[in-house]
Amino acid sequence: MKFPSEPFKIKVVEPIKHTTREERERLLCESGYNLFHVPADSVYVDLLTDSGTSAMSDNQWAGMMLGDESYAGSKNFFHFEQVVRSIFGYRCVIPTHQGRMAENLLFSTVVKPGMVVPNNIHFDTTRANVEHQRAEALDLVIKEAYDPQCELPFKGNMDLAKLEAAINRVGRERIPLVLITITNNSGGGQPVSMDNIRQTRALLTRYRIPLFFDACRFAENCYFIKEREPGYAETSVRDIARELFNYGDGCTMSAKKDGLVNIGGFLGLNNEQWAQDLTNMLILVEGFPTYGGLAGRDLEAMARGLEEVLHEDYLSFRIGQVRYLGELLDAAGVPIVKPVGGHAVYLNAKAFLSHLPPAEFPAQALAVALYRDYGIRGVEMVTVMFGKKDPASGRTIHPELELVRLAIPRRVYTNMQITYVAESIIELYRQRETIRGLRMTYEAPVLRHFTARFEELRKS
Ligand SMILES: *Cc1c(COP(=O)(O)O)cnc(C)c1O
């Protein structure tokens, strides 16, 4: 294994503290065993999310000092617009404060009740925003995406047969657009191939349906294309991105991921009528079109981050560090989702805690144990986060996959800290029978993972 050595050195440090097991036990109890409610300064390695957690470069911080905070026509906006046009190629650039606002603006403008929006897999905010318009969010990823052991290079691909069947079933007039999420976050950060995107484009052209990208991790996706897809080894990631976005009509973006900033997002698109409607809505809910809910300095940091994220030494470290964690775990027999995706390693909690029945929330129990014993915070995925209810009985339907996501913030943790994470999980795996199940004691009607509360079950 080639060691993914850091392509940067550290200029500013943020101390993190070690807590005791007793403190963490108390915090868990107070938070209802929900790690979203544990104070972040009581976490040693925080792998809750890779969103908004990136470390900015000296170049980005320098840009922050060049913020032009004019209400209208800030020079940072023009720089930002020029960078987005040069990478993504879309004429109309609409800044938003984060990704879900881009989704909200787009869907509230073009999605009407009763419509259907296909995607490979909708991310939770994307699904919630589609459903908020009383439309249906369809997940049409290839079936292998649901098999945690199936090692395909592009497990995020759209299933074209399913997509065409869906178009024929609902009719093209009820599909305002199709989305492709790159990389496929909810499916494990798995990439989508250029070939699949090209074919999706061709199919949608036949039906005259626009194609949009949920582009949060576009640079990571493009790096995988370079690594894995025949014909791209010699193409720069930047050129790969240009080709990829050229197959689409627009994108929504959370710059909190591959924008390498702590806050920010945007919409890029070519349809000027849509852009005008979106901008009118933007003015109502976010702000003037040249700042869109952000400060001038944020726009500057985002413009610089979008350039930096395409640096190939950065991407090779980034993807390499995530893969390194996956390989350490896999070599020790810890069940993970394979292949390892771009931004996170997913523990297969069903296999890890095979002694716990699904009704006892094995993934949540595993995330709790990892925090209690090692101060590491990951996040439960699937049952609590996306779990559906049986409308008749009101009972939680427990899906196939039970995962704990360990999302790796960009440029934040050293490889030594990542090694600590791997060694902790391997130790926990050796004593997995001691981990107890949970019972849910409170849940909210929407996005319940943020507020759910649990109780620990006694040993049977
Ligand atoms: C994070 C994310 C979003 C939402 O972006 P926010 O900035 O968190 O609002 C949408 N889609 C995907 C795939 C994401 O990862």
Q: Which two tokens stand for residue 331?
A: 């070599």
In a domain, 395, yes or no: yes
Task: Give the model's pLDDT for residue 390.
Answer: 66
Output the CA 216–ligand 1 centroid distance in Å.
6
Residues 267 and 280 in one domain: yes
Ligand 1 close to Cβ of residue 265 (< 6 A): yes
Ligand 1 close to Cβ of residue 90 (< 6 A): no
In a domain, 6, yes or no: no
Atom of ligand 1 nearest to the CA of 100: 9
Among protein residues, the one whose CA lies closest to atom 12 of ligand 1: 123
Ligand 1 close to Cβ of residue 42 (< 6 A): no
Atom of ligand 1 nearest to the CA of 186: 13
The CATH number linked to 351 is 3.90.1150.10
Output the CA 460–ligand 1 centroid distance in Å.
40
Output the CA 350–ligand 1 centroid distance in Å.
26
In a domain, 254, yes or no: yes
Ligand 1 close to Cβ of residue 123 (< 6 A): yes
> For 356-371, what is the mean pLDDT?
94
What is the Cα–Cα distance from 29 to 36, expressed in whole angstroms?
13
Residues 270 and 330 in one domain: no
Mutational test site, ligand 1, from 105, 107, 123, max ligand atoms within 8 Å of CB? 123
Residues 45 and 68 in one domain: no
Residues 42 and 119 in one domain: no
Residues 373 and 225 in one domain: no
Contact 299, 264 (CB under 8 A): yes
Q: Which of 360, 367, 131, 100 has its CA nearest to residue 252?
A: 100
pLDDT class of 372 with cuts at 50, 70, 90: very high
User: Which SS3 state, helix, strand or coil, does residue 266 take?
Assistant: strand
Task: Give the model's pLDDT for residue 86.
Answer: 98
Residues 29 and 162 in one domain: no
Rounded to whole angstroms, what are the CA distances from 297 to 54, 101, 411?
16, 19, 21
Is pLDDT above 80 for 430? yes
Atom of ligand 1 nearest to the CA of 98: 7
What is the Cα–Cα distance from 260 to 409, expressed in whole angstroms?
10
Among protein residues, the one whose CA lies closest to atom 8 of ligand 1: 99
Last-in-domain residue among 291, 308, 325: 308
In a domain, 13, yes or no: no
The predicted-structure confidence for 320-362, as pLDDT tens digits, reads as follows: 999 999 999 999 999 999 999 999 999 999 999 999 998 899 9
Q: Which two tokens stand for residue 106?
A: 């787009």
Task: Give the model's pLDDT for residue 185.
Answer: 87
Ligand 1 close to Cβ of residue 120 (< 6 A): no
Last-in-domain residue among 270, 287, 308: 308
Task: Give the model's pLDDT for residue 188.
Answer: 84
Total structural domains within the chain: 2
Ligand 1 close to Cβ of residue 185 (< 6 A): yes
Q: Which two tokens stand for residue 271?
A: 């349809």
What is the Cα–Cα distance from 225 to 453, expressed in whole angstroms?
41
Residues 262 and 147 in one domain: yes
Last-in-domain residue among 308, 325, 358: 308
> Residue 276: CB partners within 8 Å, gap ≥ 6?
none
The predicted-structure confidence for 259-301, as pLDDT tens digits, reads as follows: 999 999 999 999 999 999 999 999 999 999 999 999 999 999 9
Residues 304 and 315 in one domain: no
Is pLDDT above 70 for 460? no
Task: Give the model's pLDDT for residue 2.
Answer: 67
> For 452-458, what is the mean pLDDT?
89
Residues 216 and 178 in one domain: yes
Average pLDDT taken over every residue of the chain: 94
Residues 225 and 141 in one domain: yes
Rounded to whole angstroms, what are the CA distances from 276 to 54, 136, 151, 197, 288?
32, 25, 43, 27, 13
Q: With b meaning 16 or more CB within 10 Å and e meaning fewer, what string describes 101-138?
A: bbbbbbbbbbbeeebbbbbbbbbbbbbbbbbebebbbb
In a domain, 70, yes or no: yes
Amino acid residing at 440: M
The predicted-structure confidence for 10-27, as pLDDT tens digits, reads as follows: 999 999 999 999 999 999
Q: Which of 382, 381, 384 has its CA nearest to residue 446?
A: 384
Which burial class, exposed, middle or buried, applies to 145 when counting CB atoms under 10 A from its CB (0-12, 13-18, 19+)?
A: buried
Ligand 1 close to Cβ of residue 34 (< 6 A): no
Which residue range is the domain that position 365 belongs to?
Answer: 21-50+311-456
Is pLDDT above 80 for 248? yes
Output the CA 265–ligand 1 centroid distance in Å.
9
Ligand 1 close to Cβ of residue 98 (< 6 A): yes
Task: Give the model's pLDDT for residue 387.
Answer: 60
Residues 86 and 176 in one domain: yes
The predicted-structure confidence for 206-235, as pLDDT tens digits, reads as follows: 999 999 999 999 999 999 999 999 999 999
Among protein residues, the one whose CA lies closest to atom 11 of ligand 1: 123
In a domain, 136, yes or no: yes
In a domain, 5, yes or no: no
Residues 186 and 272 in one domain: yes
Task: Give the model's pLDDT for residue 398.
Answer: 72
The predicted-structure confidence for 378-408, as pLDDT tens digits, reads as follows: 999 865 565 666 667 766 777 777 899 999 9
Output the CA 25–ligand 1 centroid distance in Å.
31
> For 124-151, what is the mean pLDDT?
93
Contact 4, 316 (CB under 8 A): yes
Task: Give the model's pLDDT for residue 355.
Answer: 95
The CATH number linked to 165 is 3.40.640.10
In a domain, 2, yes or no: no
